[in-house]
Amino acid sequence: MCDLRPALCAAMLVALVGAGCVPTLDDNPAPDMRRDLPASFPGAETAAAAPEPGAGSRDWSDFFESPTLRALIEAALRGNQELDLRVQEIILARNEAAARRGEYQPKVGAGVRAGGEHAGEHTRSGQVDEQLDLPKTMGDFQFGLVASWEIDAWGKLRNAADAAELRAAAEVEGRNFLVTELVAEIARSYYELIALDNQIAVLNRNIAIQSDALEIVRIEKLAARVTELAVQRFEAEVLKNRSRLYDLEQERVHAENRINFLVGRYPRTIERQVADLDVPLPDVVQTGLPSELLENRPDVRAADLQLRAARLDVASARASFYPSLGFDAALGYQAFHLRELLETPESIFYGLASNLTVPLINRAQIESRYRSANALQIQAIVRYEQTLLQAVVDVVNQIASLENLKQGYQLQAQQVEKLDSSVEVSTVLFQSARADYVEILLTRRDSLEAQMDLIDTKKRLLQAKIGIYQALGGGWRHEP
């Protein structure tokens, strides 16, 4: 029995030499990742006791109260084409991970070969065949199993496979992030649509009121109480509002078709409840702790997975400097004549070989890949920190937006109430000849604008509530 100790010692020596020749990354070191988050969101209300979980952990079917809106979201999650594309991206990533996983497992195959060879008379093979009295044309028939296996001693293949699986998981989180955006966009577009319905209704009422006022002014002209100028000014105001009505109608068409596109269907009338805009002002949305973003925000989770994959890529690239050990084996039947192919044990062949290779000449290429993997790791660290920072900023911005819009809405509601009263007063004064037509015209114009602005602010309030929910990572959790 041969002594394997010298060969083993030589292999260990080569491995140590290879390990000692791995280049350093001191010229571009990976920084320590910063995960420090604020204790709470600035501007958010906090309780003295342990805070409740944030709204980002709530199912979207619990967050949105309107059955009509929930039905639209369900339809979008079933029919949106972008989500379908993301599913295929997940399948591709999982297939890539499965392929990488198979690279460090033994490879076994079966093969069949049939052929023949005729050696020339003036060749070495021909002379040997003639001396052995062998036929000049000989067949070669063979079938059997072949196997090869690269021993992943340094984890190069395993780390690459693990990195591919992490990237497949990141694709899943990418789809979840798209779901949060889709749910929020459907909800925002729905409230924009019913806000336009309300504005069109308000404008139609005002056009009817202004048309009645125009008839009164015409009568006043016949009584010589006003001039033709007043009639023309009132007519111009009615025409302006009728023209504005068509602009709102066009905006409504765009809003409907935007929802249809997100749902994945051709243009049609969107079922909605106009009264859904008349809900009470949004309550304070429970934000929870900033640390919950690590679990609730799919983009943060995806960035974390991509970072972990990048670190494994660096480890895999580093292992390329180390020796690689592999085995090749074969077993089967081989014969000159087909009739003798299955004779046992005469036609059985087998073989086993091992190989140990150390990169020498191509080290520059391996070093470049190693440094590139390190640079990609640093990019992944920065992207993770950037994504986490953006998540906190999104929440703080939406909290401030909701609070400021709420304060503005209360003042606008008071303004609408005052202007409604002033319209009645100006009408009475005009009929009693104590106010001119300009005062009643401007008062009604201001009242209309205030009503339209109030509806717009209410829409933005509801959209800001949706924005907080989205910023907290809500929308991708749903129990069907």
pLDDT tens, position by position, for the chain (480 residues)?
345 556 555 655 555 555 447 888 878 888 777 778 888 888 776 543 445 778 889 999 999 999 999 999 999 999 999 999 999 999 999 999 999 888 888 888 998 888 878 777 778 777 777 777 777 777 888 889 999 988 888 889 999 999 999 999 999 999 999 999 999 999 999 999 999 999 999 999 989 888 877 777 777 777 666 677 777 887 888 899 999 999 999 999 999 999 999 999 999 999 999 999 988 887 778 888 999 999 999 999 999 999 999 999 999 999 988 888 899 999 999 888 778 888 888 889 899 998 888 877 778 888 999 999 999 999 999 999 999 999 999 999 999 999 999 999 999 999 999 988 877 777 666 666 655 666 777 788 888 899 999 999 999 999 999 999 999 999 998 765
Residue type, 102: G
Residue-level pLDDT at 34: 74
Task: Give the integer Cα–Cα distance in Å for 362 and 89.
Answer: 34
Q: What is the pTM of this model?
A: 0.84
Backbone φ and ψ for 139, nearest 5 degrees, come out as -85, 165
Beta-bridged to residue 325, according to DSSP, are 151, 356
Cα gap 337→347, rounded to integer Å? 10
Query: What tokens appear for 426 in the block?
Result: 């100006």
pLDDT of residue 7: 56
Token pair recorded at residue 339: 């009739």
CA 59 remoteness from chain centre: 18
What is the set of domains in the chain, with CATH numbers?
34-104+152-323+368-471 (1.20.1600.10), 108-151+325-357 (2.20.200.10)
pLDDT at site 48: 39
State the Cα–Cα distance between residues 12 and 61, nearest whole angstrom. 61
Nearest to 459 by CA among 258, 67, 197, 183: 197
What is the C-alpha separation between 101 and 335, in angstroms, rounded?
37
CA-CA-CA-CA dihedral for 83, 85, 89, 94, to nearest 10: 70
Residue 151, token pair as written in the block: 């021993």
Helices (H), 21-139: 60-63, 67-79, 81-103, 124-131
Six token digits for residue 107: 């490879």
What does the pLDDT read at residue 51? 57
